[in-house]
Chains A and B, each alone.
Chain A
Amino acid sequence: MSPCGWMGNILRVNLSDGKIEQEPLREELRDNYIGGRGINSRILYSETSPDTDPLGPENTIIIGTGPVNGTLMPTSNRFTVSAKSPLTGILGDANAGGFFGPELKYAGYDHIVIKGCAEKPMYLWIDDGRVELKDARHLWGKHTCETESLIKREIGDKTIHVLSIGQAGENLVKIAGIINDEEHAAARCGLGAVLGSKRLKAVAVRGSKTINIAHPARLIELVDEMYNDYRKSASYHWYTHYGGTVAIIDMCKAGSAPVKNYMKSGGTDLDRRLPISHDRIFETHTFKDVACHACPLACDKWTYVEGLGRAKHPDGGSFHGAIWEIYDYPFMVEFNQLCDLYGMDLYSVQMVTAAAMEWYEKGVITKQDTGGLEIRFGDKEVVKALVHKIAKREGFGDILSEGSVRAGQIIGADPDTTSTGGYGKGTDHGPIDCSAMADLTLSLSVSTRGAGHLRAVAPMAWGVSDSLPPKWQKVYKEAGAENLMDKPWISHPVKAEIATYFESICTSSDILEMCKNTTEFYYFYGYEGREKKDDLTWHADFLRAVTGMNIDREGLELITRRVLNIEKAYNVREGKIREHDMPTSRFYQKRKGGPLDGKGIDREGLEKLFDHYYAIHGWDPTTSVPKRETLEALGLGFVADELENKFGINLGSRS
């Protein structure tokens, strides 16, 4: 009998010689990294190196699920895809919800490790223990939805679950993503291009095995407790109704919603956003709440737009048409759909097209560069044309398909125009205006996958809550920083501590492969019932109930630290240190207008905030390299040895 929670198997596929093997999930991996992003990062650390070409056959792409995945635990539906990123050349991972992750477990696998490169397009079909590579030449060139339905028809079962890449991945677009169950995207870091380079069009899966549960009665008890908390919570009711879109107006009022590629200050366009605010749209367009596996929140919505018919409602981020100065809901739905069909990261597409508009406006590029296209702010047709060009790598789209940071470098644009935290790592951070927001800047910039808003950002940093929850008011008071609670532009060590706390929560969610929407990270903080248990505590409770392993809050926190450190070591090995974490100078500009008018981050203060963050982690503040003692305390002595002996990186004194 397989262990409880985990299925106990890793599937290894080599596309070069077609070899498919199954190996047991080692106890050492399970106990030290739990699953999902944790085990993915551990495997990636040892199976890729600085010599690995992200688009070469030697790159390894890992699809990972967690031990609680596919059970009754609320929102236990995600899976993480990890590989060396073609966009950044460092650790790349992205995760998605839907039903693919649970189904992979029902088929008997915790992780799939894919290497090599197929001679002709293939797709992987996993039907319980029967795994085969099938010809996908007829699917090459098809968009993600069509690929999915063609595979379902071919297998003759519409209940199977499929992840696939679209034309963007095939064309090695560096901002290509992976789409599963039609509308869920593991999009960040350009991992779609990794599958494209391997000529693996899709992975289809069907499973009939059961996930064993160590203590079913305890699991039910914990679920009951959570559902009761949900029912009592006011935020549950509005979040299930509006989904992520509810945050847009709040973000705008707080000044974290960007305008015109950050050229204008965040929040200066409230009057233009109100006509397409969540309450208006939900009256006129959306008609149905849709959920992922085991999720009582159902934040996904179906919407109806004339000309398009039923479509996915664009969530919070993609709603930011303001980045191009476009305020048009049907257009945003269409843009969202185009990115899904081509299989692209819509954040990155937004950022690179908005940057192109700035370059055009400033004369860095002209009509000659763009193939006659006038890339002006506010032009919907131009955005659509660029999306097609990027996905097909046509004309000017070929440069933009490299992502905003590299496209800016090719063109010779000022780095500020690709406004991004952690600029040196090469990922754009999605549409969030961090200037004058020290904690938001810190947590976006230090993310181990480049820049990411799903790694460490405290909810209050977005400005989505009207007032700070009591728990955090206490933290501020204890740090003697009471007067700073409503001053996001001021750097104070307490902000690094809060970022670290949320970093553990986000990492723990990624390791367990559950959604962050149900944690303190988003909206469910501070309400009655959840106060008594912080997220790591209930994560550990569920882990114990499902797997029977002996783990508590502290144990889980230690594991999140271990995962973060191995990821950091991965990036250090690639030469990415503190200077690459720092944001571009546009972040230091003073705001003009909007809610934070005249405010800006003080560079010296921010540097100190970074110092403090690295010190909390036991990393050298000047370089951000983990110290030997930090790595050894986490059982990562082998990482320390490798960094010192093989790569000549100084980790401080030997213990």
Chain B
Amino acid sequence: MPHRKIYVKDTESCTGCRICEIVCSLKYAKSGVNPRMARIRIEYFPEKGFITPNVCRLCTKPACISACPEKALLKDSETGVIRVNEEMCDGCGKCIKACKFKSITLHPLKNIALVCDLCGGDPQCVKYCMNGTLLFLTAPEYKREKGKKREVSQGTQ
């Protein structure tokens, strides 16, 4: 059974409203919000004309894990999620540099790495994305979804 993970459908549909960041921070901070504490981050490229969310891709060979000198990061074999051992993480930031998808950030107050854990299987960011940019699918499902999109666009041409 392949893992389900968060896919970014395209860079056109994301409006940069940051609702994903806000629900994420509310989920983890419990009683408060600040998008800087979110495990998903919106990145703006106004000069290039697009906006995109960055979130953990559950890599099969995660560069972040090999980069961590403290061995604080561990891949959960069951869900594919990368877990951060908060006690072992010293906030050195090597995983952040290693992740080419810019999906890891540092908690501004606790100084530990923040990695998406898929909210235990029900990612809130996907639930609240009004633009349909974020998808929570397995790889074959995502492939099918993309195929559908191609069919539609070919149909209109």
- Chain A interface residues toward B at CB < 8 A: 70-72, 99, 106, 159, 182, 207-213, 216, 219-220, 223, 227, 230, 287-296, 298, 302, 304, 310
Contact = CB atoms under 8 A, between A and B. Distances in A.
Contact of B49 (A70, A159, A210, A287): A287
A207 B25 CA distance: 14
B15 A210 contact: no
Given A208-B108, A210-B25, A292 B34 contact: no
Interface residues of B, number: 29
B95 interface: no
A209 to B, nearest CB: 7
Given A288-B49, A290-B51, A296-B130, A210 B37 contact: yes
Nearest to A208: B108
Contacts of A304: 49
Contacts of A211: 32-34
Residue from A211, A219, A230, A287 whose CB has the most chain B CB atoms within 10 Å: A211
Interface in B23-77: 23, 25-26, 29-37, 46-47, 49-51
Contacts of B22: 71-72, 293-294
Nearest to A215: B31
Contact of A208 (B16, B23, B49, B109): B109
Contacts of B92: none
B17 A216 contact: no
Contact of A207 (B29, B31, B34, B50): B34
A289 B15 contact: yes
Contacts of A223: 128
Interface of B: 12, 15-19, 22-23, 25-26, 29-37, 46-47, 49-51, 108-109, 128, 130-131
A106 B12 contact: no
Contacts of A159: 36
A296 B19 contact: yes
Given A210-B25, A227-B128, A310-B49, A290 B31 contact: no
A219 B30 CA distance: 12
A182 B34 contact: no
B133 to A, nearest CB: 11
Contacts of B23: 72
Given A71-B22, A207-B36, A227-B130, 6 more contacts: A210-B25, A211-B32, A213-B26, A227-B128, A289-B131, A291-B17
Contacts of A296: 17, 19, 130
10 contacts: A71-B22, A99-B18, A106-B34, A211-B34, A213-B33, A216-B26, A227-B130, A290-B51, A291-B18, A294-B22
A583 B40 CA distance: 52
Contacts of A302: 46, 49
B77 to A, nearest CB: 32
Nearest to A206: B36
A209 B37 CA distance: 9
B32 A213 contact: yes
A627 B92 CA distance: 65
